[in-house]
Structure 1
Amino acid sequence: MKNIACLGGLALLAGCATGPAPNFINGSYYLAGDNSCKRYNMVSNGVIECLNSKGQSTGYRQAMSAEQMQMYAAQRAYQSQQINALTQQVQQTGDTFRQAGQSIQQTQPYTPPAVTNPSQPSTTVKCIQAGIYVNCRQ
C-alpha cells in the first residue's frame, strides 16, 4: 500500500502542469515559463511583465537575487533526491514481485486428491459413535 502511495506521489510530481523556472533575460534570472508567465515584456532593468498564453497581463516579476537562485537550486536538488529514492523503491518492489513470481513458478504443481466414482460400490465401512451407540454404513 505504501508503494502505491509513492507511485501516486510520483505521478503528481510528473503531472502536466509546468512550474516556473529561472530564465536568463537581459543579464538577470526571472522565474517564468509557467501558465501565468508564458511570455514577457521588459518593463525596466530587473522587472518583467508576465503575459499568459492569450497575451493578457498577469502581473510583474522581479529578477531573482543570488540567494533566491541558491534556494531554487537547493530545492531542485532535494526534489531530485526524492525522485531517485522513490525510483529505487519502485524498482525494489518490482524485483520483489519478480522474485515472488519466480518462486511460485518453481514450486511443485498442485495435484488434487484422487476422486472415486460414487456409483461404484465402496468396500469401506464408516462408523460413527455417539456415546454408547455406534452407527456403521458401507
Structure 2
Amino acid sequence: MTPPPFGWNGPDDDPRDGGRGPRGPRGRRGRGSRGPWDGPHPGRDFRDGLEEEIREYTRRVKKEAREYQRLLEEEAREYERMMKDVAHEYQRVMDEAGPEVVDEEPEERRRRLEEEAQERRRRLHEEAQERQRR
C-alpha cells in the first residue's frame, strides 16, 4: 500500500476536496479510526513535521534578515564615508575660491570668469612680448 501524501490524516482529510471530507468543514468529529495508518495510539502527527519545518524556515529567515541588515549597515557606512569625502572636497574648493564666490549669481559669475580670463590672456601676451624684446 502506498503511504498517504504528506499532511493527509485519512479519508476525511483528503486534500483533493479541500481537506474537509464528506462530513463538512469539521471532519469526522473524532468518531472512529481514520484508516489503516491510524492505530489506537497514533505516533507522530503530521503537525510535528510542520512544526519542525516552521522552525527551520524561521531559522533561515532570521539568518537571511541578519545578513541583509549587515549589508544595509555596511552600505550606510560606505555612503556616509562618500558624503564626508564630498563635503571635504566641497569645503576645499570653497576655501580655494575665496569669499567672493559665495552667493554669486550665475550671470555675475560668468562675467567675472570672463574678465579674469581676459586679464590672464593680456598678462600672458605682455609676458610673451617682453620675452621677444630680450
The higher radius of gyration belongs to: 2
More strand by share: 1
TM-score, structure 2 normalization: 0.40
TM-score, structure 1 normalization: 0.39
The answer to which structure, 1 or 2, has the higher relative contact order (CA under 8 A, 6+ apart) is 1
More helix by share: 2
